[in-house]
Structure 1
Amino acid sequence: MEDWTSNPMNAVTVVLALLVIILFIWIAIVGGRLKKLRKQYTAVMGNTGLTNMEDVIVELKEGLAEQKQANQQLKEQLAVVQTSLPNQKGKVGVIRYNAFSEQGSDLSFSIAIVNEEKDGAVFTGIHSRDNTYVYAKPIEKGESAYPLTPEERKAILEAK
């Protein structure tokens, strides 16, 4: 039996066979890495309908610019609301009382509608047997140019 090292053709064949085996192993490893890379690429691209990474980046950049613009508009609107909110007459105080102790129940009332600075108005309804009389007084800083009744002052304090 002849040794494979004695014949140069046998040695070349063995070396080529080993080289082919090594190349197959290398191709399998590279194929696995390529499959993993393709999965990652598909995950990044998602359902964009685009196949070019540059198009995806441009689309994301445009979307980001739109979001920044919308965010800026919302900040401006919020600033307007924050500056106008303290001036809104949204604080309400209601006091019911019996204006005439000899009659019925608490059918008279005072309603104060003011803002943070206690600017607004107070409305008073005096109920008698035959009628109800309603009065309105402007309020600035919790006071009025017209005399305020104790019930009106209490309604203004309750409106805080």
Structure 2
Amino acid sequence: MISEYLGIDSDYIVIGLAALVLILIIVMIVNAAKMHSLKKAYNNFMTGKDAKNLEDTILKRLDQVEQLMDSNEKNEKNINRIFSNMKYTFQKVGLVKYDAFNEMGGKLSFSLALLSQTNDGFIINAMHSREGCYTYIKEIIDGNSVITLSEEEQEALDTALNSNKK
């Protein structure tokens, strides 16, 4: 047969096959030991610390993620609502102090312009004299007044209109 064809004694073939079987048995034992170690590590991983189950931990984290997503959605809605309300708040300010009358000093009179994002608002003009203080208000719509503005009022309005352009 093969031994006669190759010129090898059959005893050497049997010894070689026995050695191969012995090596395969050793490899199988090493694999079994590694598999046992892996199973032990897997069981420890799945049971977790303090008898906590990995599934319970994952479900808990998923619930927390859902809560965070809901909270984020509410925050976005609140922020959008705040920004839409901000359009109507006074965001632009212009103030000019001046002397209304030559005999008065100290720049006690003033013009104060308060405008929203859409340039709507009013100008308060307070003129201080020896007899008293007179206060006037003029409505501003889209950056303009229907009533003619004094020089100081126009300066306060221009300051307010340019206050957010920085």
TM-score, reference length from structure 2 = 0.68
> Which one-letter code corresponds to 2:136 in the other structure?
Y
Match of 1:106 in 2: 107
Contact 1:121/1:137 (<8 A) preserved: yes
Stretch deviating more after TM superposition (27-36 or 82-91): 27-36
> Which one-letter code corresponds to 2:117 in the other structure?
E
Confirm whether residue 121 of structure 1 aligns to residue 122 of structure 2.
Answer: yes
CA deviation profile, 1:11-64 (whole Å, cap 9, x unmatched):
xxx99986774454324433554566578x38xx987973142x2332233222
In the superposition, relative to structure 1, how do residues 61 and 86 fare at CA in structure 2: closer, same or farther (>3 Å)? same
Distance 1:32 1:123 in 2: 84
Match of 2:52 in 1: 50
Contact 1:48/1:56 (<8 A) preserved: no
Contact 1:93/1:158 (<8 A) preserved: yes
Match of 1:29 in 2: 34
Distance 2:147 2:82 in 1: 32
Deviation at 1:113, TM superposition (A): 0.7
> Which one-letter code corresponds to 1:29 in the other structure?
K
Deviation at 1:117, TM superposition (A): 1.9
The 3-state SS of whatever aligns with 2:148 is coil
Distance 1:131 1:94 in 2: 21
In the superposition, relative to structure 1, how do residues 47 and 110 fare at CA in structure 2: closer, same or farther (>3 Å)? farther
TM-score, reference length from structure 1 = 0.70
Match of 1:152 in 2: 153
Contact 1:95/1:109 (<8 A) preserved: yes
Distance 1:48 1:154 in 2: 73
Distance 2:158 2:48 in 1: 60
The 3-state SS of whatever aligns with 1:87 is coil
Could you tell me which runs of 5 or more consecutive residues in structure 1 were left unpaired when the two chains were aligned: 6-13
Deviation at 1:102, TM superposition (A): 3.5
Could you tell me which runs of 5 or more consecutive residues in structure 2 were left unpaired when the two chains were aligned: 1-10, 12-18, 162-166
Deviation at 1:126, TM superposition (A): 0.7
